Structure 1
């Protein structure tokens, strides 16, 4: 089994770009329904992209644990440094930009924009954002933070999940994963561990854990799944890909029926199935693999975490300074290009150094053979 699957890096990078586009669309006046509900939604499906991140995290962490030469403490140090240090840099940059630019006023945008960057930064805000793991209001300064809190919580316990479920049958693992989601629904209904911010609650952690478990299954059975996909007849493969796209893009349609937690969490499983199909296709289809293995897409995947961290504060500043002063298309181009440029700098001067430092410091935690 390969220790690196480049097409998965590329998928992560493309997903990060859809988050950027999604947040841009949440700021500008609402799109016409003919566009909003068209297949083009694939391009700005930010919530679905987070599910891609979680499934891929389950896959990649399973790969890391499977091939690991370090014990749990070495794993935890690497994970902590990988997530926290770049996050700390960007959250303090975000605080600084908030102080400098929040007084700037702009009109004509959607409520989602005006709900952000409100009020003074308090000591409690700083403590909560430094800890990250606790249940706090994450929406104000950088709304992507909720997913990082969930990522880190699950990362801490994931080696235990790997130990418990990796050798179990896929049916049993799926049963437990779905049980986690239903327990999460039940706890939310009872307001136990319910989120203060956007799905940052402890109860929601159980639900998102199920997505990591699906990623673990994809890693464990990747060879079988690739072989199964390639042995399918062309028509069946096309139908499967179509199903994956439909589930990924349109599972959110269930929100048209209800905004309740139950429906929100259930629709996520439709997205998870769609994501799984698309990941299998990306690893199996030689033409798709060739495209995703192009250096530009792989590099986009490498800088995807920095894209995720920095795009929102950059967009807030650009909107406050330039909205209605330049064409919206030019503002969009500026948001994307500025985000990518800062992400490149962040990746090379922060992320890569963190990864290198963590590898050097975890040698003493190597497992004894």
Structure 2
């Protein structure tokens, strides 16, 4: 089976859209009540497990990253493309969230100017600083994953991904036995699952790809909550359907649209949405539909504007630049040093 690695997979966009919307609904229902103790929404509608949409995002990231580096051998080109894809949109969303929350949000959600400035790194928790928006914690996980991919490219070991997968599984198994399972290891397993599914989709897989997927699934049984196993099983099932062409029914316009704006929507929806919900409640509105729909529509509108009028033009412009080329020679020297 020959597949164009640059082919856009509509089903993947739809899955992004689904992941984004269930995370949004989780924040606007269960998490909102948890933080502010208002039950106007959860009394009628609740999505307590919607946070597992993040796990679906991580598996999608593993799939997409290996698709994106199919013809990339320059590690600095990879970093630059990741920077272009993530940082400008993040900065726009962060600035907008900071302004709105500072002006209209509750004290619980606010950060000061120095904390705001550190948030420009995208990994404020690394400096033990509060995030402008609570969803930023996942970006630290993504950044670590990208660092691993960078090192793999730097050492020219892209084709040894299965070996690295086995090493990761072995390390995890040992740590589970000696210590205890960690959430971050679980997230890494999801990236590995996504990578293996990309190889299956591309048609360059063998039995070892399936083996690694099921070992990662089995390792979730080490976690105290059976939810991890159930969620990972569902993700694996969904991806098997996708790679074998059984999710074409998901090619629905609204899901494809949500998938396209999912990054911006994810970045700006949480604290901005809480602020809107609180303002509506303080204005005397208790209708759960209004408390859900208004922040949802406003978040989708803002995310759409960011995606189509800021994100895409910036990516198009910066993608034409190639400053990473000047790093190629130094990168080769570094790789040679590690090989010695």
Q: Tell me the TM-score range normalised by the shorter chain.
A: 0.7 to 0.9
Q: What is the TM-score with the length of structure 2 in the denominator?
A: 0.75
* 1:278-297 alpha-carbon deviations (Å, 9 max, x no partner): 122134354x31x3223332
Aligned length: 303
Evaluate the alpha carbon distance shift between residue 189 and residue 304 of structure 1 in structure 2; reply closer, same or farther with a 3 A threshold. same
The correspondence for 2:267, drawn from 278, 297, 309, is 309
Q: Is the Cα–Cα contact under 8 Å of residues 183 and 206 in structure 1 kept in the other structure? A: no
* Aligned ranges 1:1-369 → 2 under 5 Å: 1-2=3-4, 3=6, 4-25=8-29, 26-28=31-33, 29=39, 31=42, 45-68=49-72, 71-102=74-105, 116-117=108-109, 121-123=112-114, 125-133=115-123, 135-136=126-127, 141-161=132-152, 164=157, 166-167=159-160, 169=162, 175-182=166-173, 205-222=184-201, 263=224, 268=228, 270-286=230-246, 288-289=247-248, 291-323=249-281, 324-362=284-322, 365=325
CA distance in 2, matches of 1:49, 1:311: 14
User: Are the aligned partners of 1:181 and 1:207 in contact in 2 as well (CA < 8 Å)?
Assistant: no
SS of equivalent residue, structure 1 residue 263: coil
Change beyond 3 A, Cα 1:344–1:186 = farther
Query: For the structure 1 residues 48 and 181, does the alpha-carbon distance in structure 2 shift closer, same or farther, using more than 3 Å as the test?
Result: farther
CA distance in 1, matches of 2:95, 2:175: 32
C-alpha distance in 1 between matches for 2:325 and 2:168: 30
Judging changes above 3 Å, is the alpha-carbon distance between structure 1 residues 273 and 362 closer, same or farther for their aligned structure 2 residues?
farther
| Corresponding residue of 2:332 | none
SS at the partner of 2:132? coil
- Closer, same or farther in 2 for the Cα pair 1:183/1:21, shift >3 Å? farther
Distance 2:313 2:304 in 1: 13
Q: Is the 8 A contact 2:75 2:151 kept in 1?
A: no
1:362 CA displacement: 2.8
Name the CA shift for 1:59/1:318 in 2 (closer, same or farther; >3 Å): same
Change (3 A) 1:315 1:168: closer
Counterpart in the other structure of 2:36: none
| CA deviations over 1:164-196 (Å, ceiling 9, x no partner) | 474455xx6654343454577689869xxxxxx
Cα deviation for residue 127 of structure 1 reads: 4.0
1:294/1:346 CA distance change after superposition, 3 Å: same
Question: Could you tell me how far apart the structure 1 residues matched to 2:256 and 2:179 are?
Answer: 38
User: Is the Cα–Cα contact under 8 Å of residues 28 and 274 in structure 2 kept in the other structure?
Assistant: no
Deviation of the 1:210 alpha carbon: 2.6
1:46 to 1:358, Cα distance in 2 relative to 1, 3 A: farther
If the length of structure 1 is used for normalisation, what is the TM-score? 0.69
Asked if the contact 1:184–1:207 (Cα under 8 Å) also holds between the matched residues in 2, the reply is no
CA-CA distance at 1:222 after TM superposition? 2.0
For the residue of structure 2 that corresponds to 1:144, the secondary structure is helix
**CA separation in 2, counterparts of 1:297 and 1:86?**
21
Aligned-pair CA distance for 1:364:
6.9
Q: Structure 1 CA distance, aligned partners of 2:176 and 2:127?
A: 19
Q: Secondary structure at the match of 1:66?
A: coil
Partner of 2:213: none
CA distance in 2, matches of 1:330, 1:103: 20
Unaligned runs of 5+ in 1: 105-115, 191-202, 229-246, 255-260
Structure 1 residues 267 and 327 mapped into 2: Cα distance closer, same or farther (>3 Å)? closer
